[in-house]
Amino acid sequence: MSEPALYLKQNVVTEPLYNQWYAWWYLVSPMTAPLFVANLHVKIMESFVANPAIHVAALKSPALRGGPYLNYGVDRVEGVKALLERTLSEEALSLKYAQAMLDLDKLLSTAEGFSLEELYPRVPDLLRGYVELTYDLNNRASPRFFESLLYLSPFHRESSQSLCMRLVHGDARPYVFSTPRLDTDDGSLIVKTPYRNEAIDQLFSMRRTPGPVGPVREALGVEAKDHETFSTFFTDQPPRPASRYDGEGVRIRYFGHACVLIETRDVSILTDPVVSYDFPSELPRYTYADLPEHIDYVLITHGHADHLMFEPLLQLRHRIGTLVVPASSGGGLVDPSLKLMLQNTGFRNVVALSEMETLPLPGGRLLGLPFIGEHGDLNIQAKIAHLIQLGGRSLLMAADSNALEPHLYDHIHRAVGNIDVMFLGMESEGGPLSWMYGPLLPTPLSRKMDQSRRLNGSNAVRAIEIVQRLKPQQVYIYAMGQEPWLGHVMVMGYHENSPQLVESRKLMEYCRGQGITTGLPYGQAEFFLR
């Protein structure tokens, strides 16, 4: 007797994990993942095992929720200790890589402008053949990594990749970047499979196209003990239909944070996917069920975990025609290639777009624009704003651009003219540099230096500089992390007098005074350009 054809439920959360930690940009690249294992994960677990009470006490303060504290009670010490011991054993090569990186940094610190040729034999054995030694024009030495070779090396550990699946009935999820997943007591299961496994596409295609559960279960390698739990993720009830837009002009749907669906009858474009799961809720929102069956283009502005989020991207992979990412500098430790990263996680058609480079679209074009700020003054080139031109209208998805140099936008305006709609983030008080990049630093920054190099987007003054120069007719503030389905990756805790909201109101007041349509969408919004 054949199996019945079933649908994957719309409220199945699927978190990508790396060594049981929530996976993001720097945990997917083999150039950086070992440093996060050695310099963050191991250290947090060692701290918790040594004194769990400190972690419990720290997390009683909302201000410390995004800090390096495990969100477990003292009763979980043995579980954390077991994961720590397993990590030290299974990730022994990663720990050696991290030490080799320190040794390489010390070696290059001895370079004084003379030829680096004699240093190659002294590069740590583990790294030899994976780096080129270079100077900048001020005779400061640094390595350039051959990233493509690292993806073919033992440092690219697909055996550390897995998926954690469970049903959810609300938005509340614990913060994920400081706490590994220890168990499946909440009705979840962990599937050990590389992210590139095509069975993941087969699984998520069942959200709209029913099929038998058995073949996808086997292709994913779900263990026998988890078969019953896995079966609870499916239903015979079809999802509500979500047809493509077939009207006049451009329809713009705000899905939350920096996720915006832009459609004409000829093309569909989704920016920085962060999508709510579908379940009964008092807060109106668009969900996975509201996305078109095929998304022609997905645009990524930068690699930060609230913009390049592997959780929704893996679930949408089978729907995406072309995935557009910013081009990186190539081989820089803080600037991994997003194109290589996504190709090695199973995305087939990935385009890396450079500044002022265009990509033809049906009925228009996509133009990459410079994106400065929000990266702590590090030389990270894998960040870009997207100017989408369709049917004679233009939309700028500026992400977290910060007008550190307002004259940049004079040059941009001369190239592109006035724009119709601008979406801009205003996270005007971001975290310090070490909060995101600390595990990559060979030497910790002083607190004063660290606090001065914050991951800030625009405040009102900076945002107004952009508006004055690009002359948009409509300005919307997005990417603020306010939606409740962002809580597991962002710790915002806004209140009425939070600087970010105060600055946003100042920008909106300015725009209204200039006759510019403005707003701060929340949850769900829809606009039209005709």
Q: Tens of pLDDT along 150-203?
A: 999 999 999 999 999 999 999 999 899 999 998 777 789 999 999 999 999 999
Cβ proximity of 13 and 277 under 8 Å: yes
Distances in Å between the Cα of 368 and the Cα atoms of 15, 62, 158, 185, 327 are 30, 38, 32, 45, 10
Instruction: Determine the pLDDT at residue 165.
Output: 96
Q: Percentage of the chain with pLDDT > 90? A: 91
Instruction: Determine the pLDDT at residue 63.
Output: 77
pTM of the model: 0.96
| N-terminal to C-terminal alpha carbon distance within the chain | 54
C-alpha dihedral (314, 525, 475, 263), degrees to nearest 10:
60
Q: Is residue 388 helix, strand or coil?
A: strand
Per residue in 75-116, pLDDT tens?
999 999 999 999 999 999 999 999 999 999 999 999 999 999
Instruction: Determine the pLDDT at residue 468.
Output: 98
Rounded mean pLDDT of 425-447?
92
pLDDT at 490 over 90: no
DSSP 88-140: HHHTHHHHHHHHHHHHHHHHHTT--SS-SGGGGGGS-GGGTTTEEEEE-TT--
Helices (H), 317-406: 338-343
Q: CB burial class (10 A; 0-12, 13-18, 19+) of residue 417?
A: exposed
Q: How far apart are CA 138 and CA 113, in angstroms?
A: 8
Instruction: Determine the pLDDT at residue 210.
Output: 97
Rounded mean pLDDT of 275-283?
95
Asked which of 58-72, 129-143, 345-359, 411-425 is least confident by mean pLDDT, the reply is 58-72
Instruction: Determine the pLDDT at residue 206.
Output: 97
Cβ proximity of 22 and 177 under 8 Å: yes
Instruction: Determine the pLDDT at residue 186.
Output: 78
pLDDT at 430 over 90: no
Q: How far apart are CA 241 and CA 291, in angstroms?
A: 10
Strand 141-145 to 131-135 pairing: antiparallel
Q: How far apart are CA 217 and CA 253, in angstroms?
A: 34
Cβ proximity of 460 and 515 under 8 Å: no
Q: Is residue 355 helix, strand or coil?
A: coil
Q: Which residue has the higher pLDDT, 333 or 64?
A: 333
Rounded mean pLDDT of 452-469?
96
Task: Report residue 166 as tokens.
Answer: 């469970």
Task: Report residue 499 as tokens.
Answer: 């600087």
Q: Which of 139, 138, 131, 137 is nearest to 115 (CA)?
A: 139
Instruction: Determine the pLDDT at residue 1.
Output: 61
DSSP 32-67: THHHHIIIIIHHHHHHHHH-HHHHHHHTTSGGGTTS
Cβ proximity of 254 and 241 under 8 Å: no
Q: How far apart are CA 177 and CA 493, in angstroms?
A: 17
Per residue in 215-260, pLDDT tens?
999 999 999 999 999 999 999 999 988 888 999 999 999 999 999 9
Q: How far apart are CA 169 and CA 373, in angstroms?
A: 37
Q: How far is C-alpha 56 from the geometric centre of its chain's CA atoms?
A: 28
* Residue 17 φ then ψ, to 5°: -120, 155
pLDDT at 492 over 80: no
Instruction: Determine the pLDDT at residue 62.
Output: 80
Distances in Å between the Cα of 445 and the Cα atoms of 376, 442, 452, 482 are 12, 9, 11, 30
Q: Is residue 463 helix, strand or coil?
A: helix
Rg (CA), the chain: 23
Report the mean per-residue pLDDT for the chain.
95
Q: Percentage of the chain with pLDDT > 70? A: 99
Task: Report residue 90 as tokens.
Answer: 């299974």
C-alpha dihedral (454, 102, 130, 433), degrees to nearest 10:
0
Q: Which element (helix H / strand E) includes 500?
A: helix 499-513
Task: Report residue 169 as tokens.
Answer: 């009935």
Instruction: Determine the pLDDT at residue 101.
Output: 98
Max CA pair span of the chain: 75
